[in-house]
């Protein structure tokens, strides 16, 4: 039970707002020392863990690349492109992206989109440009609302689309847990098949919310009295 002191190190470190990497490293060292590991074994454990989860460090390469393409006008080009599509509103654009994200995730292509590589530099600026073309200049509050809806379209599409792919980690985790714990032979295809109705419902419900975004972005007339604004 003394090993749980490492959890206390994490709690205290985060409460003091110390560097998260430093806090986690110190907590790992504390847990290793209490568990009877020597310094060499602790370093080997850190190395093994980093090698096993090295894909997590890919953001070190992704973020500079995204910053570079934004520096050379990716957002401006996205806005210019959306300006040529007269009938595309912010809500309709996000519904299209929701559908693309959900369908590609259903085929296991979960890395195509994402908040960092797709929403922030491309989808959100395009949605803002579509909203400004339809409703005029947006306030900062409405601009943040469009950005949040763009992020939600990516999250909902991925979350409910990936379960349709039978080889995704979540389905394999379910089948493995049920097989080892309850000795029931679950077929991943059956789980993926029954995820389809949920994915369809998620698309319909969230797609409707996206279309309602266009109404929420409409400017309030200047002659509207305060009672109507409150209502």
| Greater model confidence, 210 or 42 | 210
pLDDT band at 221 (very low <50, low <70, confident <90, very high): low
- What tens digit of pLDDT does each residue of 43-88 get? 888 777 766 666 556 666 666 776 776 676 776 777 777 767 777 8
pLDDT at 227 over 50: no
Of all residues in the chain, what percent carry a pLDDT higher than 90?
22
pLDDT at 23 over 80: yes
Cα 32 to its chain centre, rounded Å, is 33
pLDDT at 229 over 50: no
d(CA 41, CA 66): 38
pTM over the 0.75 mark: no
Residue 223 CB neighbour total at 10 angstroms: 6
Among 11-15, 142-146, 151-155, 220-224, the range scoring the smallest mean pLDDT is: 220-224
pLDDT band at 104 (very low <50, low <70, confident <90, very high): very high
Helices 140-161 + 188-216 axis angle, to 10: 170
pLDDT at 7 over 80: yes
pLDDT of residue 60: 64
Nearest to 125 by CA among 150, 106, 159, 153: 150
- What would the mean pLDDT of 99-115 be, rounded to a whole number? 89
- What tens digit of pLDDT does each residue of 164-201 get? 887 777 777 777 777 777 777 878 788 888 889 999 99
- What tens digit of pLDDT does each residue of 121-139 get? 888 888 988 888 888 888 8
Exposure of 57 by Cβ count < 10 A (0-12 exposed, 13-18 middle, 19+ buried)? Answer: exposed
């Amino acid at each position: 039970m003394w090993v749980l002191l490492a959890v206390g190190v994490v709690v205290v470190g985060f409460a003091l707002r110390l560097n998260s990497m430093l806090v986690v490293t110190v907590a790992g060292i504390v847990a290793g020392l209490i568990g009877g590991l020597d310094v060499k074994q602790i370093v080997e454990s850190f190395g093994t863990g980093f090698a096993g989860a090295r894909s997590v460090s890919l953001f070190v390469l992704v973020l500079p690349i995204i910053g570079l393409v934004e520096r050379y006008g990716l957002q401006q080009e996205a806005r210019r492109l959306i300006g040529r599509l007269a009938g595309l509103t912010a809500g309709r654009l996000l519904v299209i992206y929701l559908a693309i994200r959900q369908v590609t995730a259903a085929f296991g292509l979960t890395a195509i989109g994402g908040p960092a590589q797709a929403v922030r530099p491309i989808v959100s600026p395009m949605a803002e440009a579509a909203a400004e073309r339809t409703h005029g200049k947006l306030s900062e509050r409405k601009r943040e609302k469009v950005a949040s809806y763009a992020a939600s379209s990516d999250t909902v599409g991925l979350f409910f689309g990936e379960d349709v792919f039978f080889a995704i980690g979540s389905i394999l985790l379910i089948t493995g847990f049920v097989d080892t714990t309850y000795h029931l032979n679950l077929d991943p295809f059956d789980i993926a098949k029954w995820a389809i109705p949920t994915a369809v419902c998620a698309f319909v419900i969230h797609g409707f919310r996206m279309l309602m975004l266009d109404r929420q972005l409409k400017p309030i007339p200047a002659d509207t009295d305060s009672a109507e604004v409150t209502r």
